[in-house]
A and B are shown apart, each in its own frame.
Chain A
Amino acid sequence: MRWLKFAIQNTLRNRRRSLVTVAIAALGTAAILLAGGFALYTYQALEQSAARSTGHLIVGVPAQFTQDEDTPLQHGLDNYQALSTQLLADPDVRQVLPRVAFSGLISNGDKSTVMLATGVEPDSEFAVKGPFLNMVAGDVLATAAKQAEVMLGEGLAKSLKAKPGTSLTLLASTTDGALNALDVTVKGVFSTGVPDIDKRLVYTDIATAQKLLNTTRVSTLGVFLKSMAATAPAQQRVSRLNPQLTVQTWLDQAFFYKSVRDLYNRIFGALGLIIGVIVVFVVTNAMAMAIIERTREIGTLRALGTLPSQLLRTLALEGMVLGGVGAAAGALIAFAVSMLLYVVPVQMPPPPGSSRGYPLNVTFDAGMYAVAVLAMVALSMLASAWIARKTVHTPVAEALAHT
């Protein structure tokens, strides 16, 4: 405690210099934490989005994930209801959603265009996934619909001049290779926020999809769990019970998420490194000036019998005080800004390829805060000790003669 008190007293000798050092350390730490918190929020949002899109687990026959299909649903699942019942018995499973993925043409009579369609169980799908689609017009699909219905992406609806109530025709190859057509009614128009997807995407119900493709199969089952943390253990259990099937996690199919994470890790990693180096340089510079000014005093303390290691310790503690106070202040600033963004929302512009902006949020993560503050403290201590080592080992007589 005495060494720490001495270190604190020393940092107060030149208050203006210490204040500037602490301020830069605080701003650096806050910048690192805000950037990290933003990246973390983005990761969490994309994780949720990816898991909500596909399900936490995706169950299918092995070929579904490794090979292209020659005919629609060639690698689909038979008797999926029994498998669904078995999966729902797992305590971590909240819902099992069958999906039929297919492609074909969609026509308004005058114009036909390519579609990428997904057959879903509407009530379950929209109940589990919540408001994942932004409805532009009309309503979402309903399971008990009397007629075949579809939801169209905004771009596709615009291309076909369709609106809720418009009749369209779906054309696709059946599982035995024949061409089939089915009249449907537009129930709603949605936007995913990605214009390229909205130009092609169609949702319909499972029964309509199976009728169009002339099959009872589904492509995959999306398994929704009660929490993200249950993903790995649930995957193990489901795989053990169904060794003939492949069970992928949302992460296996989250290519966009992985790309963004890799990109952000590099961008924010480099940013953090640069800020960290700046802070260390500032602390080092402040300590270097303080040590040069106190060379004679260091000589006196050495003459009195202070060991070099004791002096290094107290000078490192000075660095720790400067870096630590700065880092703690930076953490408080970052926390305050994070909270402020919830109270006063700031909207970010749409990212490339998207038509929707998103709220600027910064996640507070105690672990990240602890690591950033401790890293800043450790770096400041090391930098101070490194800069002090030469003066501490200067011959005592030489240090005492320093003017």
Chain B
Amino acid sequence: MFAPRPASTPADPPRGCGPAWERPGARPAFAAPVIELRGVHKTYRLGQHVIPALQGVDLVVRRGELLALTGPSGSGKSTILNLAGLIDTPDRGEIVLDGQAVTGLEEIPRTLLRRDALGFVFQSFNLVPVMTVAENVDYPLFIAGVPARERRERVAAQLAAVGLQDHAQHRPDALSGGQRQRVAIARALIKRPRLVVADEPTASLDSHTADQVLDLMRERCHAEGAAFVIATHDSRLTQRCDRVLALLDGRLQ
């Protein structure tokens, strides 16, 4: 059985969590951890085949940090995102969000944690097509029960921050790919999450738009103080993250 270990400290970085390289201006190592994965294992079953997706991953992501996860397909990037985003559970190991162990939480408290503390950016945007841009951005606040007046103000501010204030009443299908991803980023950040997980956020975008989206994520990351964990194959994106971790066969390199 997996034996829980004490939470890692800035002076004692978790095993296997060494950065491939760190960027100038990255978050200092003493910033508070937002999410910690400790000795996390995850396997998937496909028929009779058992596929080890993660094999003892330790990872700490700190407040305001933009962390990129790279690696070939099947290396475990999306699995880490799913676990960090509390939409999947590890077979072994522990996940700590803001100092709170969340591994054994039931579905409802996990959902509430996702609602209140986590943001998601998907490769294909995953906006709700029947909602307007403003309604998509407003949705996380609506389900959290934020009063309508406060929601209106925050949505307007967030749309202005991503440069889409003039598109508030448009539907997603009237927007370009870059605009849609900006809506998705606004939706992820509207609730001021502690962690945003982004799965290939620039994969569906051309290089110019991808740069714009990355700039936006970086700016919002530092402005909001939220940590970003980004799974990506895009080398331009990794070059502009605070830290890059490479995954291979379910292990951090």
CB contacts under 8 Å to A, within B142-156, are: 142-144
Q: Which of A134-142, A221-229, A300-308, A336-344 touches B?
A: A300-308
Chain B residues contacting A396 (CB-CB under 8 Å) are: 87-88
Q: Which of B19-27, B125-133, B222-230 touches A?
A: B125-133
Contact between B126 and A305, CB atoms less than 8 A apart:
no
Q: How large is the interface on B (under 10, 10 to 19, 20 to 34, 35 or more residues)?
A: 20 to 34
Whether a CB of chain A sits under 8 angstroms from the CB of B85 is: yes
CB contacts under 8 Å to B, within A241-296, are: 296
A13 touching B129 in the complex, CB below 8 Å, given contacts A303-B87, A397-B82, A400-B87: yes
Contact between A304 and B131, CB atoms less than 8 A apart:
no
Complex-state Cα separation, A9 to B131, whole angstroms = 8
Chain A residues contacting B187 (CB-CB under 8 Å) are: 304
Q: Mark A1-29, 1 if CB is under 8 A from B, else 0.
A: 01000100110110000000000000000
State the main secondary structure of chain A at its contact with B. Answer: helix
Contact between B88 and A6, CB atoms less than 8 A apart:
no
Chain B residues contacting A12 (CB-CB under 8 Å) are: 130
Contact between B143 and A300, CB atoms less than 8 A apart:
no
**Which residue of B88, B115, B129 contacts A305 across the interface (Cβ within 8 Å)?**
B115
Contact between B130 and A305, CB atoms less than 8 A apart:
no
Chain B residues contacting A310 (CB-CB under 8 Å) are: 143
Contact between B130 and A303, CB atoms less than 8 A apart:
no
Chain B residues contacting A397 (CB-CB under 8 Å) are: 82, 87-88
**Which residue of B108, B114, B130 contacts A304 across the interface (Cβ within 8 Å)?**
B114
Complex-state Cα separation, A286 to B126, whole angstroms = 23
A306 touching B143 in the complex, CB below 8 Å, given contacts A396-B88, A397-B88: yes
Q: How far is the CB of A7 from chain B (nearest CB, A)?
A: 10
Chain A residues contacting B85 (CB-CB under 8 Å) are: 303
Q: Mark B197-239, 1 if CB is under 8 A from A, else 0.
A: 0000000000000000000000000000000000000000000
Complex-state Cα separation, A396 to B108, whole angstroms = 12
Q: Mark B11-40, 1 if CB is under 8 A from A, else 0.
A: 000000000000000000000000000000
Contact between A300 and B126, CB atoms less than 8 A apart:
yes
Contact between B88 and A395, CB atoms less than 8 A apart:
yes
Contact between A6 and B130, CB atoms less than 8 A apart:
yes
Complex-state Cα separation, A307 to B112, whole angstroms = 8
Contact between B130 and A306, CB atoms less than 8 A apart:
no
Contact between A304 and B82, CB atoms less than 8 A apart:
no
Contact between B108 and A303, CB atoms less than 8 A apart:
no
Q: Mark A383-403, 1 if CB is under 8 A from B, else 0.
A: 000000000000111001000
**Which residue of A6, A10, A306 contacts B111 across the interface (Cβ within 8 Å)?**
A306
Q: Which of A300, A301, A302 has the most CB of B within 10 A?
A: A300
A296 touching B88 in the complex, CB below 8 Å, given contacts A303-B120, A305-B140, A307-B111: no
Contact between B114 and A6, CB atoms less than 8 A apart:
no
Complex-state Cα separation, A105 to B48, whole angstroms = 95
Whether a CB of chain B sits under 8 angstroms from the CB of A90 is: no
Whether a CB of chain B sits under 8 angstroms from the CB of A69 is: no
A305 touching B116 in the complex, CB below 8 Å, given contacts A9-B130, A297-B128, A310-B143: yes
Chain B residues contacting A13 (CB-CB under 8 Å) are: 129-130
CB contacts under 8 Å to B, within A321-338, are: none
Q: Mark A117-145, 1 if CB is under 8 A from B, else 0.
A: 00000000000000000000000000000
Chain A residues contacting B129 (CB-CB under 8 Å) are: 13
Contact between A297 and B143, CB atoms less than 8 A apart:
no
Chain B residues contacting A306 (CB-CB under 8 Å) are: 111, 115, 143
Contact between A301 and B130, CB atoms less than 8 A apart:
no
A305 touching B114 in the complex, CB below 8 Å, given contacts A2-B142, A300-B122, A310-B143: yes
Given contacts A307-B108, A307-B112, 5 further A-B contacts (CB under 8 A): A6-B130, A13-B130, A300-B122, A304-B143, A395-B87
What are 14 sample pairs from A and B whose C-beta atoms fall under 8 A apart? A6-B130, A6-B131, A12-B130, A297-B126, A297-B128, A302-B111, A303-B87, A303-B120, A304-B114, A304-B139, A304-B143, A305-B140, A307-B108, A308-B107
Top-5 shortest CB links A-B: A305-B115, A9-B130, A396-B87, A300-B126, A305-B114
